[in-house]
């Protein structure tokens, strides 16, 4: 991460997932990164998007370690043991919608609320993993309404955060980041092991994109290859 100060501090939320683990491994191998905090539900400092007090407590615990230069949220849900993505509106119910929005939108919003004070004032990067299927302008197939809508909500949260941070934390760059198809548990029911990239490859690509961001990119929706995606 050449755009961040030598010895910079990184925080990866969702570090127990395939992409999250790959981010942690990549960052730990970067000689310019001084420390990497790997957070998940069972980490030493636990964080759970179903439990707002845990988000606040995690931010409070990490505040003792100094400013954060890179914050990545890799938490997301498309399916669980209880449900698969909806194919039509007849499949929707409150449980599916609530689970999708809590993890994909509400949790990241509260992450920004509680972690914003930790961000380094000179330059910091916040990347919230979104998805191209959350693009309203790119939606041509329909389906997956709960997932699409929750990621579209996340994109609005990113845009609002960028506008607010431009006033209160002008050194912060906030983006929604599309990882593409990656071979993880999230994508495997849909052929991810065949068509997806390895998590390590995806993490390297996304970190390269983040490293090249400038202040004018804050509030944008970017893909793993640097392309700008429509809202």
**To the nearest whole percent, how much of the chain has pLDDT over 70?**
95
pTM exceeds 0.85, yes or no: yes
Query: In the chain, where does DSSP find H-type helix?
Result: 18-28, 52-62, 94-101, 107-115, 145-168, 192-195, 199-211
Q: How many CA atoms lie within 13 A of 95 on its CB side?
A: 7
Confidence band of 193 (pLDDT split at 50, 70, 90): low
Confidence band of 68 (pLDDT split at 50, 70, 90): very high
174 DSSP 8-state letter: E
| 192 pLDDT above the threshold of 60 | no
- Reading the block at residue 212, the tokens are 């090249």
Q: What is the mean pLDDT of the segment spanning 94-114?
A: 96
8-223: which CATH topology? Answer: Rossmann fold (3.40.50)
**Residue 12, CA distances (Å) to 69, 71, 202 in order:** 11, 6, 15
| 39 pLDDT above the threshold of 90 | yes
Segments making up each domain of the chain, as ranges = 8-223
pLDDT in tens, 138-188: 988 899 999 999 999 999 999 999 999 999 999 999 999 999 989 876 656
Q: What is the mean pLDDT of the segment spanning 49-69?
A: 96
């Amino acid at each position: 991460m050449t755009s961040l100060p030598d010895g910079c501090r990184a925080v990866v939320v969702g570090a127990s997932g395939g992409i999250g683990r790959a981010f942690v491994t990549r960052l730990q191998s970067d000689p310019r990164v001084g420390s990497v905090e790997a957070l998940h539900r069972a980490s030493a400092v636990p964080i759970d998007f179903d439990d707002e007090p845990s988000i606040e407590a995690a931010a409070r615990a990490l505040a003792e370690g100094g400013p954060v230069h890179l914050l990545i949220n890799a938490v997301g849900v498309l399916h669980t043991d209880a449900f698969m993505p909806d194919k039509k509106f007849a499949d929707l119910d409150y449980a599916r919608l609530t689970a999708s929005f809590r993890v994909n939108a509400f949790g990241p919003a509260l992450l920004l609320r509680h972690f914003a004070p930790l961000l380094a004032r000179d330059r910091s990067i916040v990347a919230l993993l979104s998805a191209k299927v959350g693009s309203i302008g790119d939606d041509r197939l329909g389906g997956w309404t709960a997932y699409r809508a929750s990621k579209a909500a996340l994109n609005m949260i990113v845009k609002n955060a960028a506008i607010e941070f431009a006033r209160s934390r002008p050194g912060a760059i906030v983006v929604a980041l599309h990882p593409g198809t990656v071979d993880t548990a999230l994508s495997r029911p849909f052929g991810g092991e065949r068509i997806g990239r390895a998590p390590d490859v995806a993490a390297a690509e996304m970190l390269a994109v983040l490293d090249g961001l400038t202040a004018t990119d804050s509030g944008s929706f970017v893909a793993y290859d640097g392309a700008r995606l429509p809202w």
